[in-house]
Structure 1
Amino acid sequence: MLDAGHGGRDPGAVYNGRQEKDDALALTLAIGELLQERGIDILYTRTTDIYESPYQKAMEANIAGVDFFISIHRNSYPTDNTVSGVESLIYDKSGIKYKMAQNINDQLESVGFVNLGVKERPGLVVLRRTQMPAVLVEVGFINSDVDNQIFDNNFNDIALAITQGILDTLDLGGEIDNDVIQPFYSVQTGAFRNRTYANRLLGELRSQDFPAELLEGNDLYRVNVGSFETLDEAVAMERRLKRAGYQTVIVIL
């Protein structure tokens, strides 16, 4: 699954009118086309300018059962034209995701970017909640004129570089088992065919500080609360919801 970062009401980083969400979408679609030409099955979190929360994106990948999750972004720094380069973010430096991040960075360095390395970011939702190897690629700093020039002048080469980094990793074979898939549990409070009803329940739960999210799939709108690594945590949340008067069922994400 390819994820174009941000979107819709969330522009991401902005610099002189340039929006991260636009660069990310254009590059993601270009990468997807190249991968499909090489026989890779691709799904997208978005192909247009829409907003979905990082949690929704992670859940879409989990429900679809994809093998890898690649999120495309542009970086930003508090001071303009101070830092430049590419970096890739992963949950931890282990398994095939680490090798893929390194391969992508190496390929992007060959295009002309400074290689800032691979960083651990276990707190990022799309890296923490995805059940498959996940890599978030920061393709240069959007508030760096140097990086923007590289991005604009070498757009096709950048798309090809990221594609090649992914393909180089897939050619390794067998290493995919290095990442243990961790199941997550959530508490479902409703499933609706009408989005209006789902949004009503979502707002009601959030007004009571429940971490509710709306998931779409199979013509249903599901309202889930939380994402937990252990069943005991999910059971504790289920008890809270039941005490508040909600019907519940624990599901595996």
Structure 2
Amino acid sequence: MPYSIMLDAGHGGSDPGAVYNGRQEKDDTLRLVLAIGEILQNNDIDVEYTRTTDVYETPYQKAMEANEAGVDFFVSIHRNSSPMPNQYSGVESLVYDLSGIKYEMAQNINAQLETVGFVNLGVKARPNLVVLRRTRMPAVLVEVGFINSDTDNLLFDNNFNDIAQAIADGILDTLNVGAVEDEMHYRVQVGAFRNSTYANRLLQELIEMDFPAYIDDSGQYDRVQVGDYMTLAEAVQMEQRLKRAGYPTVIVSMT
């Protein structure tokens, strides 16, 4: 089963986003999202969009659209802005917290954009952002350069296709698309404990709820994990089930 992703072009309609010398963030993000989506579709990813035209929806509406669509991932494209023109430049990605596959995807996207020429400002946790807090699937918000940086705008315009490819590659690298899947398997980790009593308590709780849980005690901690999946898509589905049940989760890859 192919992976599915919802791409969100930041702002739109009555909300132009950041504006600089007549340039509007909503236009840059829409153009870029459509280019990224085409690349992902050509790599057998099911792509949906929060918007494909110049319309406005609240961040909450966008998060609910993703939840209702049941997609595996959510990626929102924006452009940054600073108080003063040409004060900063570079790309950064935002996630709810610095863990799991969303963090890995954000790092991969930033790394790919750095090869295009952007300064890599890193990945930051922003748990207060609605599209990161209210989405049920792994979500990443990418700030593709500063719209009030002449350097970043020149890079954006002169390397547009490379930027779209870089973001798509960061996503595809995370999903291991094209990799040999029997060399990699995935588990969903729910907790890691020094005290085995706590690990066993959580294990029994999960088993009573019919989750295929067990304890991996091969390392320093007793790690309570669920499943052993040959594809990332299966692990993501289980992660979503566990999150709906109220458990914190991290997908871990094994070779």
TM-score, normalization by structure 1? 0.70
Corresponding residue of 1:99: 104
> Counterparts of 2:134 and 2:82 in 1: how far apart (Å)?
26
Give SS of 1:56's match.
Answer: helix
Shift of 1:173: 6.2
> Counterparts of 1:105 and 1:180 in 2: how far apart (Å)?
24
Corresponding residue of 1:30: 35
Corresponding residue of 1:88: 93
> Counterparts of 1:87 and 1:10 in 2: how far apart (Å)?
22
Shift of 1:180: 4.0
Shift of 1:42: 0.3
- Unaligned 5+ residue runs, structure 2? 1-5, 177-183, 188-231, 247-255
Corresponding residue of 1:168: 173
Mapping 1:8-157, distance limit 5 Å? 8-157=13-162
User: What is the CA RMSD across the aligned residues, in angstroms?
Assistant: 1.7
Give the letter for the 2:117 counterpart: G
Corresponding residue of 1:197: none
Give SS of 2:132's match.
Answer: helix
> Counterparts of 1:133 and 1:98 in 2: how far apart (Å)?
9
Deviation string, structure 1 residues 103-132 (Cα, Å, up to 9, x no partner): 000000000000000000000000000000
Aligned residues: 185
TM-score, normalization by structure 2? 0.70
Give SS of 2:143's match.
Answer: strand
> Counterparts of 2:8 and 2:47 in 1: how far apart (Å)?
11
Give SS of 1:42's match.
Answer: strand
Mapping 1:179-198, distance limit 5 Å? 180-181=239-240, 182-183=243-244
- Unaligned 5+ residue runs, structure 1? 185-228, 230-253
Mark the CA change 1:5 to 1:150 in structure 2 (over 3 Å): closer, same or farther: same
Give the letter for the 1:16 counterpart: N
> Counterparts of 1:71 and 1:183 in 2: how far apart (Å)?
22
Overall identity of the aligned pairs, in %: 74
